[in-house]
Amino acid sequence: MTTITLENLAQSYLKSPSKADEDWALKETNFTFRHGGAYALLGPSGCGKTTLLNIISGLVVPTRGRLKFGDRDVTHASTVSRNISQVFQFPVVYDTMTVGENLAFPLRNRGVAADKIKQRVGQIAELLDLTAVLDKKARNLTPDARQKISLGRGLVRSDVSAILFDEPLTVIDPALKWELRSTLKAVHRELDVTMVYVTHDQTEALTFADTVVVMSDGRVLQSGNAEELYERPAHTFVGNFIGSPGMNFVPAKVSGRSADIAGTAIALPHTYAAMSDAVELGVRPNYARLAEAGSGIPARLIRIEDLGRMRLARVRIADRTLSVTVPDGMTPESETAGVIFDTPRINVYSGGRLVAPDGA
């Protein structure tokens, strides 16, 4: 069992970093990856995903804090002794070897018996649809096939503590991506190994992982499954980043169980204590709908976008632009409209953070 624990872990690439936030690529982080979990590190470019992955693999020694695999402190342990597999964004393939030899390489290195190697290589080749090219030299294969070999080499050992993936599907054709994501999930189920997958693509993260760790600006903002991140984003950044379009946020004054949005009172699903920082209500576009003028919160309709599966209206309320669902059959002719929030789905944020209701 290998639980990976980050204890007060922080990374600066500067020689003598100050305490200032901007000096730290990874701010002090405490987190546990449980044994056998499928995790995605998700966040925009530069948020520290690769830094965190490289600390786990040993390519980077953290400036502060400790990294543990189970009870073992591996903060300064060599990459080899950590017993992990890694798959990078661009294929790492030996051109002069055949596909089969490439897949067998990590096992040969470890002195695995020939019959075991044959069996495991066959299994992985089957999963990745490489059986037909097992005897071909890697050199002449397409970029997709080469990255599949790279994935296969990452997956071939069944005795690793963890498998780390850094944007492994970037060079893969979009149609194949779906297939490979389900392949990775299947391998995850079969291997009972911890997988950590770095990506900036929310679809990739949400389909691969059972726990998505959302990062921004060197911090872990929230970790959870797709439903938690969608329904109860812990931070306005997470609400915005997850979903397309992201969650709507509108300034409000909250008092007990009701909120005032630009002079209109609406009900909240719970009661809230007084909050000192700026308060916003967060509502997903599919839990907010356009209504005729005179009902709901007064809004100005800017335009309607037909997305095929649904129509979305862009509206202005309290100096913010919101995306709300247009009910079937509704064809607004005036820019004066109303918006109705689905009360149970309203979240309350103060200073950018989700506020727990009274008694929660």
Ligand X SMILES: Nc1ncnc2c1ncn2[C@@H]1O[C@H](COP(=O)(O)OP(=O)(O)OP(=O)(O)O)[C@@H](O)[C@H]1O
Verify binding: residue 200, ligand X, rule CB under 6 A. Answer: yes
Structure token pair of residue 354:
């989700």
Verify binding: residue 45, ligand X, rule CB under 6 A. Answer: yes
Verify binding: residue 168, ligand X, rule CB under 6 A. Answer: no
Verify binding: residue 49, ligand X, rule CB under 6 A. Answer: yes
Verify binding: residue 13, ligand X, rule CB under 6 A. Answer: yes
Does an H or E element contain 340, and which? strand 336-341
Verify binding: residue 50, ligand X, rule CB under 6 A. Answer: yes
Using CA atoms, how far residue 176 sits from 91, 100, 145, in Å, is: 16, 21, 10
What is the phi/psi pair of residue 222, to 5°? -165, 145
Which of 2, 5, 40, 48 touches ligand X (CB under 6 A)?
A: 48
Of the candidate spans 46-54, 94-102, 182-190, 203-211, the one that interacts with ligand X by CB under 6 A turns out to be: 46-54
- The residue (of 47 and 238) whose beta carbon lies closer to ligand X is 47
- The residue (of 49 and 188) whose beta carbon lies closer to ligand X is 49
Verify binding: residue 46, ligand X, rule CB under 6 A. Answer: yes
Structure token pair of residue 20:
């200032």
2: alpha, beta or left, given left = phi > 0 and alpha = psi -120 to 50? beta
- The residue (of 43 and 168) whose beta carbon lies closer to ligand X is 43
- The residue (of 242 and 290) whose beta carbon lies closer to ligand X is 242
Closest separation in Å from C-beta 7 to ligand X: 19
Using CA atoms, how far residue 51 sits from 24, 111, 241, 325, in Å, is: 11, 31, 20, 39
DSSP string spanning 121-163?
Answer: HHHHHHHTT-GGGTTSBGGGS-HHHHHHHHHHHHHS-SS-SEE
Verify binding: residue 152, ligand X, rule CB under 6 A. Answer: no
Contacting positions for ligand X (CB under 6 A): 13, 25, 43, 45-51, 200
